[in-house]
Amino acid sequence: MGEALSVDRRILRTKLAIREALVDLIDEKGFDALSVRDITEQADINRGTFYLHYRDKFDLLEQTELGIIQDIEEIILQANSLNLADFNSTDKPLPIVVTMFDYLKENAALMHAILGLKGDVTFQNQLRKAVEKNLKLGFLAGIKAENFLVPSDYLIAYVLSAHFGVIQVWLQNGCVESPKEMAIILSKLSWDGPIRTTGFVLGL
């Protein structure tokens, strides 16, 4: 039992070293330019060890991105229990949104590398589709179609693009604001909209 646990920990440490090397190299030279040799040298492992876990650099990136999508889907599942009554204040952040930003900040280097403004566009599209699917099956499923003021597809596209844009800029700026502050910012943007958040008051 103890020996198996030791092996498992060693595998986890190796995979973590490989992932950290991947993040550093994407940031340094971009994914297309890096090689397996670059990764193994950066992680201080031999090529044989790398190939025990991944077929190539593309498999490494795919598995890394799949793990992120699964983590974020689990967080979103918690949001599916929310209803509109939970969104009762722009100054009180939703715990689920804080949790999401906590996750993003804990994995800031990785998220910046593949979700940032210069990140993997294919992955970003996959993540958007995963979030959209979970919203439709969860939170939005409880709202009648006739209650929407605009077609739901446009609403979802607007919200996702806006939220992803905010997250990308936050990552690009080094996550200066806390997860709680970012949750409040998104709350204000969602409830008050881009015009009101400039301080402009309609009718004046």
Residues 193 and 115 occupy one common structural domain: yes
Q: What percent of the chain has pLDDT over 90?
A: 39
**What residues make up the domain containing 172?**
61-204
Structure tokens at 140: 């939005």
Residues 122 and 198 occupy one common structural domain: yes
Residues 89 and 148 occupy one common structural domain: yes
Residues 121 and 159 occupy one common structural domain: yes
26 contacts 34 by C-beta, under 8 angstroms: yes
Q: Which residues of 83-104 are buried (b: 16+ CB within 10 A; e: fewer)?
A: eeeeeeebeebbebbbebbbbb
| DSSP one-letter code for 142 | G
Q: Give the helix ranges, DSSP H, for the chain.
A: 2-29, 36-43, 47-53, 57-79, 95-106, 108-115, 121-137, 152-172, 179-196
Model pTM?
0.80
Q: Among 11, 34, 54, which residue terminates a domain?
A: 54
For 112-160, write each residue's pLDDT tens digit: 888 876 677 888 888 888 888 777 765 566 666 677 788 878 888 888 8
Residues 88 and 179 occupy one common structural domain: yes
Give the count of beta carbons closer than 10 Å to the beta carbon of residue 8.
Answer: 10
| Separation of alpha carbons 204 and 201, rounded Å | 6
- The total domain count for the chain is 2
